[in-house]
């Protein structure tokens, strides 16, 4: 039985990595240090292309020696097909889990805390998906929560406020982890061994060559990901994520060195909002 205050996060999907070499495979493919995960813990992680651009950002759960990816914007079947190209002879299976449904609530977790999971797949896994300033609980299990479009949109807005980028298909493979500030989530490592894009990520980190950062902007209705951000009549950046209804919140990637003049999107002056810190795991 799912608690009454939970609602379906219908765009979230679950991808399973099973088999004796699931951890080894994930360590070689994903940007964060999977070996740092103990059973019953989770972390933010990302899959990058060879040029160090982010394909997907996800929560990675360790359930015993099996792994589960909770994908907020990427279909599990699509990402699974892409990952299977790199399995080769490893003893790992990569498969969507449509039987595991994802739901959320704007309440503090009953048992889970920080990176520690609670529950199991049969009865429902619980994750601490928020902070003290913005509490949220995410559940994964066979039970189906009711649909609530307004609550689901509020969840996407909260994701951006907490620094979790929501990347539509048009924004995949466009941004490096540093440009999306995935360090705020502790979602990548510069110390682990090789993974796709690792050399570029490490070089950017150690040589201090990051030239762009994300900002939260309030933008007009109708603005979508890919919209240009202007300053003094000149295009200086681009919107990577948007959420919300009439008053939209956008995550835009902009140069670190920019003037003090107002920023504009779709001809309207925007205001900047601070991120809510503390979602790192």
For residue 122, being part of any structural domain is answered with yes
| 129 and 246 both lie in a single domain | no
Q: In terms of residue numbers, what domain contains 266? A: 211-272
Among candidate residues 168, 181, 239, 134, the one with its CA nearest the CA of residue 270: 239
> Do 117 and 255 fall into the same domain?
no
Extended strands (E) in 81-207? 93-96, 101-105, 118-120, 124-128, 137-141
CATH code assigned at 154 = 3.30.1360.120
Report yes or no on 174 lying in a domain: no
Residues 215 and 165 in one domain: no
Global pTM reads 0.96
Phi, psi of 120 (to 5 degrees): -150, 175
We report the CATH number of the domain holding residue 243 as 2.40.30.110
Distances 65 to 27, 56, 110, 127, 237 between C-alpha atoms, Å: 13, 22, 25, 18, 42
- 150: which residues sit within 8 A by CB, 6+ positions away? none
Given this model, what pLDDT does residue 247 score? 75
Query: Quick one: 19 and 157 in the same domain?
Result: yes
State both tokens at 84: 């299977």
Tally of domains in the chain:
2
148 and 38 in a common domain: yes
The domain boundary residue, chosen from 151, 169, 187 = 169
Nearest to 42, CA basis, from 195, 197, 185, 201: 185
Q: Tens digit of pLDDT for each residue in 140-198?
A: 999 999 999 999 999 999 999 999 999 999 999 999 999 999 999 999 999 898 999 99
> Can you give the pLDDT at residue 95?
98
- 18 and 157 belong to one structural domain: yes
Q: For position 257, what pLDDT does the model report? A: 93
Judge whether 22 and 67 are in contact, CB under 8 Å.
yes
**Structure tokens that stand for 16 in this block:** 């399973």
Q: Are residues 155 and 234 in the same domain?
A: no
Give the residues of the chain that fall short of pLDDT 50. none
Structure tokens at 42: 């989770």
Within a domain: 181: no
CA 102 – CA 61 distance, rounded (Å): 13
């Amino acid at each position: 039985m799912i608690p009454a205050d939970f609602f379906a996060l219908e765009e979230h999907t679950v991808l399973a990595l099973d088999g004796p070499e699931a951890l080894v495979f994930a360590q070689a493919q994903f940007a964060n240090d999977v070996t740092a995960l103990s059973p019953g813990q989770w972390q933010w992680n990302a899959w990058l292309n060879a040029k160090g651009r982010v394909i997907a950002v996800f929560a990675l759960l360790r359930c015993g020696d099996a792994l589960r990816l909770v994908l907020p914007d990427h279909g599990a079947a699509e990402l699974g097909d892409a990952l299977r190209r790199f399995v080769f002879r490893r003893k790992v299976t990569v498969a969507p889990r449509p039987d595991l449904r994802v739901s959320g609530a704007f309440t503090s977790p009953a048992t889970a805390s920080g990176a520690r999971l609670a529950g199991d797949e049969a009865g429902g896994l619980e994750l601490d998906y928020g902070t003290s300033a913005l509490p949220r609980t995410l559940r994964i299990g066979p039970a189906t929560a009711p649909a609530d479009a307004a609550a689901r949109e509020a969840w996407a807005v909260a994701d951006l406020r907490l620094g979790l980028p929501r990347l539509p298909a048009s924004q995949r493979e466009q941004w490096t982890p540093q440009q999306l500030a995935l360090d705020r989530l502790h979602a990548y490592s510069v110390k682990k061994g090789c993974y796709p894009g690792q050399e570029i990520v490490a070089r950017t980190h150690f040589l201090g060559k990051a030239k762009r950062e994300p900002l939260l902007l309030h933008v007009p209705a109708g603005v979508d990901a890919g919209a240009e951000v202007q300053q003094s009549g000149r295009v200086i950046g681009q919107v990577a994520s948007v959420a919300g209804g009439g008053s939209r919140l956008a995550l835009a990637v902009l140069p670190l060195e920019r003037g003090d003049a107002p920023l504009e999107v779709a001809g309207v002056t925007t205001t900047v909002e601070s991120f809510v810190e503390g979602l790192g795991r």
